[in-house]
Structure 1
């Protein structure tokens, strides 16, 4: 598996500038405490002792700050999924582990930090670029697993690869999209096992 590429965000100024990190840290704390919608750029400026105008030198809007935080969360989930997949060489088991890891990571975000979860919900509703990139990465991982399974003879080869990957992604989507996750919450933790088993049966050659 290839390493995950970065999730693009709309930001200004030097990428590694410490002020950017201070803004993100302050925003994460404020969003966790008060929620994304109720926090303003003025609140963040006051918290870190800078003017609002100075913050705008690094982020063009509050959404850009939210995108950075959302990107960090999604990057962590993606990394967990990649680690889980890398623990086995067997394509069917990779797929099972992917279902399980992505569900557990998404549920943790949903249950442990509901204020930050609001950012993810806003990102999904407004289709922020970081969300689109994350979904593309997940589908790419699926394609890589499917291709490996076809090469080992574990998976059928008749259905176009991209079509198969998309279909499986749609099965997984209720457990990785925050807007859908809230409606699927009651079916866990058995759901990933049942769904992955069903998908694997459909992939049999």
Structure 2
């Protein structure tokens, strides 16, 4: 979560990225030690050595800081998925790689630090903008793979593309959503292969 590129809606004030990134880095460390829910902006200010008022020049709330951290986390997952998809040849293999990498990367980033997991859980439960945007981008990537498969004759073309993409996304959703993913640990080793194979059989022309 070192990349601090996030939605401008999550921050405000001077366009001083170095200071903003310093706040985000310090907040990430503080949240990992004490948890997101138990930390206040005053706690962060004291830990960083800034005044509370100074932090508010850059972020309108604790959630805004948490949203930037969450956006960075989700961007890492998305980058992993896109890299895996780009390396694969053909739409069927791209779809398999997408299932496998989403589960693997989500587990690594959501659960390598249980305190930071609280941010992901809050973001998903409260539908923060960063989470909504991430889901939309994943759905867009899925539609691109389906479109490529249809053009190459790998996938059937009768079902409306959006309907197909939505259905496959719903299959993936339990492994995308951190609140649900925590209840699927027992299936994460075999689920990507089984689910992607089932989906690919349903897509056969």
- Normalised to the residue count of structure 1, the TM-score between the two structures is 0.95
User: Could you list the runs of 4 or more consecutive aligned residues of structure 1 that deviate by over 4 angstroms after TM superposition?
Assistant: 5-8
Tell me the equivalent position of 1:151: 151
Query: For 1:179, what is the secondary structure of its paired residue?
Result: helix
> Does the 8 A contact of 1:67 with 1:128 survive in 2?
yes
Q: Work out the CA distance in 2 between the residues paired with 1:7 and 1:155.
A: 35
Tell me the equivalent position of 1:86: 86
Once the two structures are TM-superposed, the CA of residue 16 in structure 1 deviates from its matched residue by 4.4
Which deviates further from its counterpart, 58-67 or 102-111?
Answer: 102-111
Query: For 2:89, what is the secondary structure of its paired residue?
Result: coil
Once the two structures are TM-superposed, the CA of residue 10 in structure 1 deviates from its matched residue by 1.9
Structure 2 residues without counterparts, runs of 5 or longer: none
Tell me the equivalent position of 1:178: 178
Deviations 1:58-101 (A, max 9, x none): 00000000000000000010000000000023100000000000
Deviations 1:182-204 (A, max 9, x none): 11111121100000000000000
Which deviates further from its counterpart, 174-183 or 14-23?
Answer: 14-23
Q: Work out the CA distance in 1 between the residues paired with 2:39 and 2:181.
A: 24
Tell me the equivalent position of 2:120: 120
> Does the 8 A contact of 2:124 with 2:178 survive in 1?
yes
> Does the 8 A contact of 2:6 with 2:72 survive in 1?
no
Q: 1:54 to 1:169 in 2, by over 3 A?
A: same
Tell me the equivalent position of 2:99: 99
Once the two structures are TM-superposed, the CA of residue 124 in structure 1 deviates from its matched residue by 0.5
Root-mean-square deviation over aligned CA pairs? 1.3
Q: Does 1:19 align with 2:19?
A: yes
Query: For 1:130, what is the secondary structure of its paired residue?
Result: helix
- Normalised to the residue count of structure 2, the TM-score between the two structures is 0.95
Q: 1:78 to 1:200 in 2, by over 3 A?
A: same
Deviations 1:28-87 (A, max 9, x none): 001111110011111111112110001000000000000000000000100000000000
Q: How many residues align?
A: 201
Once the two structures are TM-superposed, the CA of residue 17 in structure 1 deviates from its matched residue by 2.5
